[in-house]
Structure 1
Amino acid sequence: MTNALVFLDTETTGLHHDRRPWEIALIRREPNGYTTELRVFVADVDLSSAELMGLNVGHFYDTHPSFRTDSPMRLPAGDEEFQTGPGVWLAVEAKAAVLVERMTRGATIVGNNPTFDVEVLAAMLRRHKLCPAWHYHPIDVVSQALGFLSVLNLRMLGDLLAPELAEDLTPPVKSDKLSKLCGITPPEGDDRHTAIGDARWVQRWYDRLSNPLDGDDETTSVQAQ
């Protein structure tokens, strides 16, 4: 039986072991192509051990609905969640954990260094007495891309590529560069360093690597309710 895929990314309070997620984006694609998109902001995120540099990279104070400097949004009194737009939720961490568990159950996770995201989400689920139920073997699009480009023997194709891209692929290689070499433009503008922007990027990149000779696949999608 083919698993559903969940294209995943998180924005967190830093890179340290006790980091907490504050933006979580998941795009679940069923085997029949039906796709559901969910974006959750954690309303009561614990910032006591946050790294300011990490928060700034993710534009925390510009992006998080409850902490942005212009018109911050609070949960209605007594509520654990509030839908701020199609497929977008502001929720306390306990409710966010329930939403994440539901969206990832039985699915294969696909991400850009997905171990980073899986670790932080598994810890969140455990804090709220939930069991991570996704498949134990996530897919890393960066590893896929390195294999894909190695098979193509990039050095022999260098004259067909922009000179700045025809370089050695010895790790570590920037994911932006690898994505461009695969024909996928990384997030730009307001989507840069947002969980939803990166999750959509991972989806496009995975599809290109999985079907390099095909155009973009059309899928039926709906926002998570």
Structure 2
Amino acid sequence: MTYELTQPLVFVDTETTQLEPLPKPWEIALIKRGGEVEEEQLHIMLRDPDLSDASPDALCVNRFYERHPLWSPAADQDGPTLMEGRDAAVAVELFTAGTQLVGSNPDFDARALDWLLREHGLRPRWRHHTINLVTLTYPVLHGRGEHVQIPSSSYDLSRRAGAEPPQKNVAHTAMGDALWTVRWWDSLMGAER
């Protein structure tokens, strides 16, 4: 089985300061396939994340205070590019223009990116439909004749599709989770590109 890309795919994950009512990103990972280059990555941490209404639980799960280099001297200094919000918004807007977002719950990530862009006078230019690997995996498993329980955990679904979830040390990091969605997509699509 093969597939044809009519527009580039961007595998997306964000780490945010809260889940609801409005996710605000502090770490963004984007992996683009298709278009002029075979694969391209953008990995950003916001230098000035909005923590004014941050959820302590969200910051605990994504290890904000351990991983953000301005809050932790032990953080990876060679990791993502630190950018001011305005510069990050411009980079995201240009990187995602004319693409299709793919991920595990990419609507959440799209909301976070939308907030960042609009905070800086920009607007999203990615395709308004996203590809959610969770919902894509249900019919694949069902088509194989496997029992499907809805809802199921994303980790369980990706394993059953043939893609190992991220290891604990990279889970809930934007790039770790974005790379996981690439593996998951490749498993579902038979690793054909």
TM-score (norm 2): 0.91
Q: Distance in 1 between matches of 2:64 and 2:172?
A: 10
Distance 1:48 1:32, change over 3 A: closer
Whichever residue aligns with residue 9 of structure 2, its letter is L
The match for 1:95 is 87
1:65 positional shift: 1.5
Picking from 110, 122, 137, the partner of 2:129 is 137
Whichever residue aligns with residue 93 of structure 2, its letter is E
Distance 1:85 1:71, change over 3 A: closer
Pairwise CA RMSD:
1.9
What is the aligned-residue identity percentage? 39
- Residues 101 and 133 in structure 1, CA contact (< 8 A), matched pair in contact too: yes
The match for 1:174 is 153
- Residues 11 and 24 in structure 1, CA contact (< 8 A), matched pair in contact too: yes
The match for 1:166 is none
Q: Distance in 2 between matches of 1:36 and 1:194?
A: 18
1:120 positional shift: 1.2
1:200 positional shift: 0.5
2:43 is the alignment partner of 1:51:
no
- Can you give the 5+ residue segments of structure 2 that lack an aligned partner in the other structure? none
Report Cα offsets for 1:50-101 as digits up to 9, x if no partner: 0001100001111111112x3579xxxxxxxxxx648x31001111101100
The alignment covers a number of residue pairs equal to 189
Whichever residue aligns with residue 55 of structure 1, its letter is L
TM-score (norm 1): 0.79
Whichever residue aligns with residue 135 of structure 1, its letter is R
Secondary structure of residue in 2 paired with 1:120: helix
Say which one has the larger Rg.
1
Report Cα offsets for 1:77-128 as digits up to 9, x if no partner: xxxxxxx648x31001111101100110000000101110101111110111
Moved over 2 A (4+): 70-73
